[in-house]
Structure 1
Amino acid sequence: MFFIPGVLISLATFPGVIVHELAHQFFCWLFNVPVFKVVYFKTGNPAGYVLHEKVSNKFQHIMISIGPFIVNTVLGAIIAFPAALPIFKLNNATPIDFVLIYMGVSIAMHAFPSTGDAKSIWDGLKDEDTSIAAKIFGYPIVGLIYAGTLGRFFWLDALYGIAVAVGLPNLLISILS
């Protein structure tokens, strides 16, 4: 493996960062949680963020935190799907097809929630009023987020983006044809 600074990766895959923050904001909107500030993209760490009111409902808190996993995965696959057939099966791709694959990969590779999201869930689960069900659901999610963060060192996020934007459409095309 080789090392590329996170700032360069964020610049190269900025659509994914923007969609990641939009996903957080969308789930805040979905649960009527006021948003105070959104930074969709900036150079530096973090590359973007959403500041919102503290959420007392633990399920909503978890969903806001993992919202990008859902939104970025689905949107990355949908955007890349129309380009998969001409690129990988028909060999008659246009430049727009390659742009769609790039967009799909960059969006899907930013699906993983951040360590800030994991810390937020962890802190919320430590509250005295947190139900056992929320803890049973939430603590494994925190562990998965941290495992995904460790996996970034081995390019797990990029591999996930490629799997979602290239592998999944190819699998669906093979099944449907």
Structure 2
Amino acid sequence: MFFIPGILITIATFPGVIVHELAHQLFCRWYKVPVFKVVYFQMANPAGYVLHEPANNKLQSIMISIGPFFLNTILGALIAFPAAIPVFKFDNGNIADYLLIYLGVSIAMHAFPSRGDAQSLWQSLKESDTSLIAKILGYPVIGLIYAGAIGSFFWLDLAYGIAIAVGLPTLLISLLG
């Protein structure tokens, strides 16, 4: 195992950061939660963020926090899938195919919500008006977010991105063809 500074990974996979923040913003819009500021990408920590009003209910807070998991996963797979056929089925991909696979991996590997997302969700759930059902749903989500953050030290995010953008299309191709 070798160490690569996080900022270099962030720069190399900036499309995923942009889509991650776009997902937060999109979920805010879907739930009509006003957004004050969006930074899609910056050369600092955090690489991007969305500042918004508190959601109207705790389920909305959970969904806004985990929105990138859904959007980045789906978009990463959809972008890489057309390139997977020539690259993995016929072994004759071109530069555009490899670019699409890079984009798919980059986007999918930023699907995991960040520790900042977990902290925001934690603050929301510990308020006195939080229902028991929201706590039952929300606290395990926070635990999974932190587990993903720890796993990213061991390249779990990259493994996930490859699984979604390369493994899933390859599996579908082998099942269909």
Indicate the TM-score class for this superposition, using the shorter chain for normalisation: over 0.9
Report what 1:41 is aligned to: 41
Cα deviation digits, residues 46-73 of structure 1 (max 9, x gap): 0000000112300000100000000000
Report what 1:2 is aligned to: 2
Separation in 2 of the partners of 1:81 and 1:56?
A: 37
TM-score (norm 1): 0.99
How large is the RMSD of aligned CA atoms in angstroms?
A: 0.6
Separation in 2 of the partners of 1:56 and 1:25?
A: 15
Matched letter for residue 37 of structure 2:
K
1:92 aligns with 2:92: yes
Separation in 2 of the partners of 1:136 and 1:53?
A: 23
Report what 2:117 is aligned to: 117
Separation in 1 of the partners of 2:50 and 2:26?
A: 10
Cα deviation digits, residues 122-154 of structure 1 (max 9, x gap): 111111111111111000000000000000110
Separation in 1 of the partners of 2:87 and 2:61?
A: 40
State how many pairs are aligned. Answer: 177
Report what 2:126 is aligned to: 126
Matched letter for residue 35 of structure 2:
V
> SS of the residue aligned with 2:37?
strand
CA contact (8 A) 2:33 2:56 kept: no
Q: Which runs of 4+ in 1 moved over 3 A?
A: none
> SS of the residue aligned with 1:45?
coil
> SS of the residue aligned with 2:41?
coil
Cα deviation digits, residues 57-114 of structure 1 (max 9, x gap): 0000010000000000000000000011100110111110000000000000000000
The alpha-carbon deviation at position 167 of structure 1 amounts to: 0.2
Structure 2 portions without partners, runs of 5+: none
What pairs up with 1:1-177 in 2 under 5 angstroms? 1-177=1-177
The alpha-carbon deviation at position 13 of structure 1 amounts to: 0.3
Separation in 1 of the partners of 2:122 and 2:13?
A: 28
The alpha-carbon deviation at position 39 of structure 1 amounts to: 0.3
> SS of the residue aligned with 1:127?
coil
